[in-house]
Structure 1
């Protein structure tokens, strides 16, 4: 009897032990699953600290746009998302900011589209001129949901950036040491260009001789005659005091700036749905407001250049400028076999 009782006790103990082991395994699996989910998505009630940056000076409209956007995100998230915002290139130049948002060292930046061409050459299309006819055309495209999704999807694929808001609307014109009434006035002239191949080609198409000069050297280049002109936004002409060394501004309005405010996509996807919604709601408010401000700023900037710098504005015939600029866009689009896509977006 004692032996039988002992066998029964051992059997019961073994069964209990087995149940405990299985239960423990089940709990462990459940815990791992929950941990996995929490690693992939932040809790909507969790406090999130992000870093945003731009090379634009703090008093420029583009920097003000980024600051307003981050403040509205904080508001829409009830303070759950907070930002540290660096302006004026205090944490790096344009190239380093671009690399930092790709690596995730910075969460959000404002960027010109030219940098995206490093990974997707088709972005050179967005660096060409006269994509937009006027303010109404610009706002229709930029403020329409999904209109530029082809380019936004490319950014996610490579280099892994999520566009969270468009910014821009500032018009670019040509400041020079000589008057420009027609495109033929540029024939043989030494014009400053940035490093992008699209800008260099544009100047060549207009008959000019482009020379690559860093932005911070444009003033001295105009002053010494190394360059006879440069294409810039009106606010940049004021901020950099180009009006002191360039007597004329041809209001070609060849470019209405299109910039992207982008996040590291892995960082974006780690956010909860509620936090993503807060970002979207902030963009819906700030994007149209600040793009409209950019267009309103043009008249004010012209007055400053005339009154404070004595600049003379010319109103050149734009037909030849438009024809040669659109030809460049079409050539790039054909090269990348996206002409139909581009025409559907911008026509």
Structure 2
């Protein structure tokens, strides 16, 4: 029994079906076309809304596709999604953090590197251009995962069980980071004590004292109630998230050529929709948690000092990937 067969038998109300099933206009598919998506979050999360928008855009421009989107981590976490996409099983498309794809494409976390973007305008200019094309090509070649759009826009900050407001308090701070080495290197350079822990283990790890905090954006903190174990939020603003909308290369190549074109156009448009949505909602969700007394917010004293401390790490990392010119191009946007 395949994992997808099992998932189908476990299907419940969280699944979203969009579009009418029909016979494709190409001989590539002998049966109806169903594209299976996955989200770790519920209907209210920006990632889910963006994937629903993607499905709607495809449905408006192409007859004969059904979208089966499973929510609330029904099909696992992002590290599972990477394996499924690479193997062409269980799911066909999702949204995920670049760092979670590092095991297949070592350069891809460059687009998710802390302190990479100056502000939202710089971030949006980068994602609206083709400057990240070399990373897209590497991901497709090495992992057989195709980027069809870019969403994101949440601003990531520190969340901790005790206040972290300056470099002295950050020193030795045991915190969770994503699995890509650059994440740990950046925070180690800032004198913290980072370690990679699976996302679905973070809540319990903070609750049990294995770590004292982690870093994330407001939507995920609110959605998964991380504030219950880590109510102190420090505004480091170290990352404006880049979240590729990705599709299994094996799936994409099987689609009729006219549907491939529709998917790419819908991915780009859904990405722009998602970027605006998440960047707008980020401040709203943070304020909602403040108003509810769920988080205590403070600025990081001497944040400009952090920016200088990480530049050598960023430069060394880019050089190790042969991506010095790419990093310069991003900084120049």
Measured against the shorter chain, the TM-score band is: 0.7 to 0.9
Aligned counterparts of 2:239 and 2:306: Cα–Cα separation in 1: 11
Which of residues 95, 110, 119 in structure 1 aligns to 2:79? 95
> Secondary structure, in 3 states, of the residue corresponding to 1:49?
strand
1:265 alignment counterpart: 249
Q: Does 1:183 align with 2:172?
A: no
Structure 1 alignment gaps of length 5 or more: 1-37
| Greater CA drift, 188-197 or 327-336 | 188-197
For the pair shown, the structure with the greater C-alpha radius of gyration is: 1
Q: Aligned residue for 1:127?
A: 112
- Is 2:312 the counterpart of 1:315? no
User: Is 2:102–2:180's contact at 8 Å kept on the other side of the alignment?
Assistant: no
1:167 aligns with 2:151: yes
**TM-superposed deviation, 1:187:** 1.0
Shift of 1:140: 0.7
Match of 1:304 among 268, 288, 291: 288
Aligned-partner Cα distance in 1 for 2:236–2:193: 18
After TM superposition, the score normalised by the length of structure 1 is 0.80
Q: Which digits, 9 at most, give the CA deviation of each residue in 1:202-242, with x for residues without a partner? A: 22111112244333333333344332221111112212222
Structure 1's consecutive aligned runs of 4 or more residues displaced over 4 angstroms after TM superposition are none
Taking the aligned partners of 1:337 and 1:323, their CA distance within structure 2 comes to 22
Pick which of 271-280 and 200-209 moved more.
271-280
5 Å-filtered alignment, 1:139-288, equals: 139-144=124-129, 146-288=130-272
For the residues of structure 2 that align with 1:331 and 1:231, how far apart are their CA atoms? 23
Aligned to 1:295: 279
> Greater share of helix residues, 1 or 2?
1
Q: What is the aligned partner in structure 2 of residue 334 from structure 1?
A: 319
What is the SS of the residue equivalent to 1:121? coil
Structure 2 CA distance, aligned partners of 1:191 and 1:107? 32
1:169-201 Cα shifts (integer Å, max 9, x gaps): 111100123333333320122223343322222
Count of paired positions: 305
How far apart are the structure 2 equivalents of 1:323 and 1:262?
Answer: 33
Q: In the alignment, is the contact (CA less than 8 A) between 2:177 and 2:184 conserved in 1?
A: yes
C-alpha root-mean-square deviation of aligned residues, in Å? 2.3
Give yes or no for contact 1:76–1:279 (8 Å, CA) kept in 2: no
Structure 1 partner of 2:88: 104
Match of 2:48 in 1: 63
Cα contact 2:77–2:200 (8 A) shared by 1: no
The TM-score with structure 2 as length reference comes to: 0.83
Distance between the aligned counterparts of 1:258 and 1:273, measured in 2? Answer: 28
